[in-house]
Structure 1
Amino acid sequence: MFLQKLKEISTFIFDVDGVLTNGDILATDSGEFLRTFNIKDGYALQLAVKKGYQVCIISGGSGAAMQKRFDGLGIKHVHLGVSDKVKVYEDFLHQHQITDDEVLYMGDDIPDYKVMKRVGLPTCPADAVEEIKSISMYISPQKGGRTAVRDVIEKVLRVQEKWFDENPSAADSGK
């Protein structure tokens, strides 16, 4: 069943803090919040975009640096500062004529729960909270911000025979 679900995925949706980052936020004296992103996750994200998958970010967090990171990876659907993830999810699906079954969502905490109950393939990093692990069809052996995102993207692209990039650029994941 899991293998079949991987074959049906056309869309990836990710939370940010605890999924694309390790969940730590460094607060500076100027009031900025700093996060770190994994370069290997970045490579997989830009490859998914390049291969024609819909990639969407839905996060309660926000910041110009986050937007710049996602812009550099070619991710066009970035929703930051979101309080109602279900509404954003429903609007995104309606706008792009996508069904729940086509969506792989990776979340790590309670704000992701309601969306994850709806998607075709709910996934989470190894260090997600127990409530999220209990509804996930796949728990990555990797932690958030430590290639959990690459893990799920790579699985989908390999099953669909789209993983290898004939012309990779060393700059693709570092933008």
Structure 2
Amino acid sequence: MNNEKSYKELLQDISTFVFDVDGVLTDGSITVTTEGEMLRTMSIKDGFALKTAVDAGFNICIISGGSNEGVRKRLSGLGIKDIYLGAHNKIEQLNEYLGNHNISKENVLFMGDDIPDFPVMKLVGLPTCPQDAVPEIKAISKYISHKNGGKGAVRDVIEQVLKVHDKWNGNFNAKYD
């Protein structure tokens, strides 16, 4: 008999969200200006969900190999305090974050989309990915969102967790811009 919990059962255990940026909070595209600035686009619906989760008392951490300070500014504006940019060893950053906040890996939902996310996704309680993640990431994910990266995949998983915890409804006054 299989004692492993189903995806829906694991939602109740989640206290912490950890997200990659490029391909998860963005669609993975970069617009490069003539000055060399790299611009990304994020979903306002994902932003609302992130702010709602912060306001509901969930832990949120960003671990990204990218180092765009505009990303930090946007996410900080949503109330996210733990943002690791330029992270080339995501396991090290995850362990530091979890240790600093006394969080168990079993209580973590991580959403990644590409090979650099693979090692850290193998460690957490609930590895998830957007619909357009690479096959290797889909193969280890316990949940694959029906939404693509940057197009509501983050909102999808946050909304599901908050609904299971009965913290989604009634918090529609969150400021998310």
TM over 0.5: yes
| Aligned-residue identity in percent | 55
Change (3 A) 1:48 1:31: same
Kindly state the Cα deviation for residue 2 of structure 1 after the two structures are TM-superposed.
Answer: 1.6
> 1:116-171: CA deviations, max 9, x gaps?
001000000000000000000000000000000000000000011000134514xx
What runs of 5+ residues in structure 2 fail to find an aligned partner?
Answer: 1-5
Change (3 A) 1:81 1:90: same
Kindly state the Cα deviation for residue 57 of structure 1 after the two structures are TM-superposed.
Answer: 0.3
1:173 to 139, 152, 176: 176
Cα distance between partner residues in 2 of 1:5 and 1:127: 23
**Structure 1 ranges of 4+ moved more than 3 A:** none
Change (3 A) 1:63 1:8: same
1:71 to 53, 56, 76: 76
- Total equivalences in the alignment: 172
Q: Which moved more, 1:128-137 or 1:26-35?
A: 26-35
Q: Which moved more, 1:58-67 or 1:138-147?
A: 58-67
What runs of 5+ residues in structure 1 fail to find an aligned partner?
Answer: none
Kindly state the Cα deviation for residue 173 of structure 1 after the two structures are TM-superposed.
Answer: 2.2
Q: Which moved more, 1:159-168 or 1:99-108?
A: 159-168
Equivalent residue for 2:104?
A: 99
Equivalent residue for 2:126?
A: 121
Equivalent residue for 1:50?
A: 55
Cα distance between partner residues in 2 of 1:94 and 1:21: 28
Change (3 A) 1:166 1:12: closer
Cα distance between partner residues in 2 of 1:76 and 1:61: 17
Give the TM-score normalised by the residue count of structure 2.
0.95
